[in-house]
Homo-oligomer: A and B are copies of this chain.
Amino acid sequence: MSDFSLVLFTFIGSISALLFAGYLTMFIMKQSEGNEKMREIAQAVKDGSAAYLKRQYIVVGAFFGVVFLILSYLVSQKYLVFFVPYAFLSGGLFSGLSGFIGMSIATRASARTAEAARTSLNAGLRVAFSSGAVMGLVVVGLGLLDLSIWYTVLNWYYSSNPLPHGLDKIGAITSTMLTFGMGASCMALFARVGGGIYTKGADVGADLVGKVEAGIPEDDPRNPAVIADNVGDNVGDVAGMGADLYESYVGSIVATMALAAAAGLGFRGITVPLIMATVGVLASIVGTFFVKCGEKASQEVLLKALRRGVIVSAVIVAVVCYFLVKMTLGAENIGIYWSIIAGLLAGIFIGFCTEYYTSAQYKPTISIAESAKTGPATVIIHGLSVGMLSTAGPVLAVGAAIIASFYFSGGAKDFNLGLYGIGISAVGMLSTLGITLATDAYGPVADNAGGNAEMAQLPPEVRERTDALDSLGNTTAATGKGFAIGSAALTALALIVAYKEELHIFGVELDLSLLNPRVLVGLFLGGMMPFLFSSMTMRAVGKVAGDIVEEVRRQFKEIKGLMEGKAKADYAECVKIATAGAQKEMIVPSLLAIITPVVVGLVLGVEAVVGLLTGATVCGFVLAVMMANAGGAWDNAKKYIEEGNVGGKGSFAHKAGVVGDTVGDPFKDTSGPSINILIKLMSMVSIVFASFVVANSFFK
């Protein structure tokens, strides 16, 4: 395959994804948005979300400006090549764009889903799932686009200009492409942290006054924080997740491309991840056609329909990759194919574990619900215990994937080839992202549709249908989270290896022995980082929630007739408070992630940085799984109680269950998912600042 045909193929894949996303958007926009009340509510959510993103992009824009100047300075000092500041900007831009587009569609799809759910469950599913699919396809489409553009530019440039010291052309291309990952990671972190603080601050705040104090149901229009809560689903669970997975996606691909250069596979080595990703995009498009069912489908049938789409895509990728590896890398490297399969299987297995530990169909979640009989304390103890126990499966899966992909790809004979195998298994895990993200991102749309139906006082069967879609979404989201978290661990490892390669290029050889005290101290510092970071993000949620609580209390007190449904709440004020709070609180944890690897490098040297990154990856992975699963289990335990078990709604046990759910909110939607980005961003920052740190470190 030639350069040209590789780029052309990738480009076609990218454009196909974007075109198909456009087609789905048209389908969604053609649907009716319902009656005036519904449109009005949807508009409020749309405005709130847009206002939030606007403020966020101003803050983030300022941040990107500062980093751009710093990188430009480093370019002027010859620490970095000319392209880096622009690569950084483009990564941030595309990551932000993914979130923005996904969110725009999601906010437009929610009322339409509610309206469609008036007809049937299936009609509702089609609208909601289409919105999710737009998100998934935009993420992978833009990812491939950015990759193919930069590959073209750098390939053209290095064909006629001198190569950097010690690099061949592929090495020069991939080491620059790595740096656009840093832009995507930064954007993703801000989106996840800011959005996560917003969504859970608003959610917790709304629940604390609404459900607990005033005793009104969720999504009740009398609650002044109800719009902010719905906005939160969009800015956190949609825009935040989009930016997050964009970053995972391109991060795993560029890291693997860099490892291909190190493994001496040359052009063939970078072809494989790019083609795999492109095949995955096309397979995802095919998969979406399999997500359909009869008009009167049960929830089980719906779940099967969603799963069928994912499985079809995965099978296509699995089959095509066999020939891809064989033709590109030769029959002697067919082991690399098994590395891909190892990654794919590990992702599926982690998804299964997540479902087992968080679904009310299985014992762990039911046991949490039962522990609610003895009050909130036992719910918390039990939920944390389940969350901690649930780390075993994912750790074993990732461990098995590491060992399998390393040895299958020939790591025993050629160490670098084995490391390339680990990278390629991450790409394998993420190759079907287009459709796994679709099944994940449709959840918040269904959730918002439910809120819309409740506030617009649609007939109860509509709410029942949207609830069914929402609860289905929780199950599929579990699979999505499994892929996100598993791929984060593998991608972080690939990035750490890429970092070592980057240092190798500068002529720095490392003593990475576990017994090197600087490596050890790095490990301790890295192990601490996810805890510190989670502490800050959880506290931020608490603060924003506290502000919301006070505002809602004020409105209940000052707006006469609000509780009787005679006066209208001031929704905009709550939106404003949550927006301002999230912006303020997201700065410090984000800066912590960016500054720490540079400071550790300067003070303790690059060996400590590798320790830092590894420690953060290990502890971060375990903690993230724990938080995500405990949070999910608490959420579903509460729902299980609300379905009439262990006392049902309004019982002592239900109150205890609500406490668990509230604690779980920041766990699963703020701190947990942010850790994924934290560990990758720290690696990216280390790579970009490597030359500067090496030249200026106190420990040479």
Contact = CB atoms under 8 A, between A and B. Distances in A.
B546 A378 contact: yes
Given A204-B377, A524-B395, A535-B389, A514 B514 contact: yes
Interface in A531-552: 531-532, 534-536, 538-539, 541-542, 545-546, 549
Given A377-B204, A520-B402, A659-B380, A391 B532 contact: yes
Interface in A163-182: none
B535 A385 contact: yes
A527 B377 contact: no
B622 A531 contact: yes
Contacts of A411: 517
B532 A377 contact: no
Contacts of A376: 376-377, 659
Contact of A386 (B385, B387, B524, B535): B535
Nearest to A514: B512
A381 B538 contact: yes
B208 A377 contact: yes
Contacts of A545: 374, 378
A411 B385 CA distance: 41
A546 B619 contact: no
A307 interface: no
B371 A524 contact: no
Contacts of A384: 535, 538, 663
A195 interface: no
A204 to B, nearest CB: 7
Contact of A528 (B374, B391, B527, B542): B391
A188 B489 CA distance: 35
A391 B531 contact: yes
Interface in A204-256: 204, 208, 212
Contact of A521 (B382, B391, B403, B542): B403
Contacts of A546: 371, 374, 378
Q: How many copies does the complex hold?
A: 2
Given A514-B614, A523-B614, A524-B398, A666 B621 contact: no
A387 B376 CA distance: 19
A112 interface: no
A29 interface: no
Interface in A360-410: 371, 374-378, 380-382, 384-389, 391-392, 395-396, 398-399, 402-403, 406-407
Nearest to A531: B388
A611 interface: yes
Interface string A61-85: 0000000000000000000000000
A437 to B, nearest CB: 25
Interface in A39-97: none
A389 B538 CA distance: 11
A384 B630 CA distance: 14
A563 interface: no
A257 interface: no
A374 B527 CA distance: 32
A489 B520 CA distance: 11
A418 B517 contact: yes
Contacts of A385: 534-536, 538-539, 542
A386 B531 CA distance: 10
A527 B527 CA distance: 9
B538 A515 contact: no
A604 B532 CA distance: 32
Interface string A639-675: 0000000000000000000110011001000000000
A626 interface: yes
Given A204-B377, A208-B378, A515 B539 contact: no
Nearest to A549: B374
Contact of A541 (B381, B525, B528): B381
A419 interface: yes
Contact of A618 (B403, B422, B527, B538): B527
A31 interface: no
A577 interface: no
A496 interface: yes
Contact of A514 (B422, B534, B538, B610): B610
A696 interface: no
Contacts of A622: 524, 527-528, 531, 619
A518 interface: yes
Max chain B Cβ within 10 angstroms of own Cβ: one of A395, A512, A517, A518: A517
A618 B524 contact: yes
6 contacts: A375-B659, A388-B534, A391-B528, A395-B525, A398-B524, A512-B513
Given A376-B377, A496-B514, 19 more contacts: A204-B378, A371-B542, A381-B539, A381-B663, A384-B535, A388-B534, A388-B535, A389-B531, A391-B532, A392-B528, A399-B521, A403-B521, A407-B517, A419-B515, A422-B517, A500-B515, A514-B611, A514-B614, A618-B619
Interface of A: 204, 208, 212, 371, 374-378, 380-382, 384-389, 391-392, 395-396, 398-399, 402-403, 406-407, 411, 418-419, 422, 489, 493, 496-497, 500, 512-515, 517-521, 523-528, 531-532, 534-536, 538-539, 541-542, 545-546, 549, 604, 610-611, 614-615, 618-619, 621-622, 626, 658-659, 662-663, 666
Query: Closest 3 A-B residue pairs measured CB to CB?
Result: A388-B535, A377-B662, A389-B535
